[in-house]
């Protein structure tokens, strides 16, 4: 299964099945680096200067829970 974030969907990368999501991410880009066990989560609202909104916070919570449950991820970084 695939975490359907913008970056992952375009580049065809996937996290393990433990990190699957049901709908595409609108406000975040997720970059897994399995060789280092790091997942980088980037805010993706450039026109709004990455201002926080309810949708972004909801996505961030969902992605954090999914990455936390993924045994291939040892560290989650935000940018």
All domains in the chain, ordered by first residue: 6-78 (3.30.300.220)
* pTM, two decimal places: 0.68
Query: Residues 39, 77: contact at Cβ < 8 Å?
Result: yes
Average pLDDT per consecutive 10 residues, the chain (79 residues; last block may be shorter): 36 40 84 93 95 96 95 90
Write phi, then psi, for 53 (nearest 5 degrees): -145, 170
Query: Taking a C-beta distance cutoff of 8 angstroms, is the pair 29, 22 a contact?
Result: no
Q: Is 37 left (phi over 0), alpha (psi -120 to 50) or beta?
A: left
Do residues 41 and 28 lie in contact, with contact meaning Cβ atoms separated by under 8 Å?
A: yes
Separation of alpha carbons 76 and 71, rounded Å: 12
């Amino acid at each position: 299964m695939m975490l359907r974030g913008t970056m992952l969907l375009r580049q065809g990368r996937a996290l393990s099945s433990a990190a699957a999501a049901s709908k595409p991410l609108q406000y975040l880009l997720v970059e897994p680096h399995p060789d280092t066990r790091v997942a980088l989560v980037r805010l993706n609202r450039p026109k709004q200067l990455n201002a926080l909104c309810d949708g972004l916070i909801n996505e961030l919570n969902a992605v954090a829970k999914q990455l936390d449950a993924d045994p291939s991820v040892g560290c989650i970084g935000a940018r």
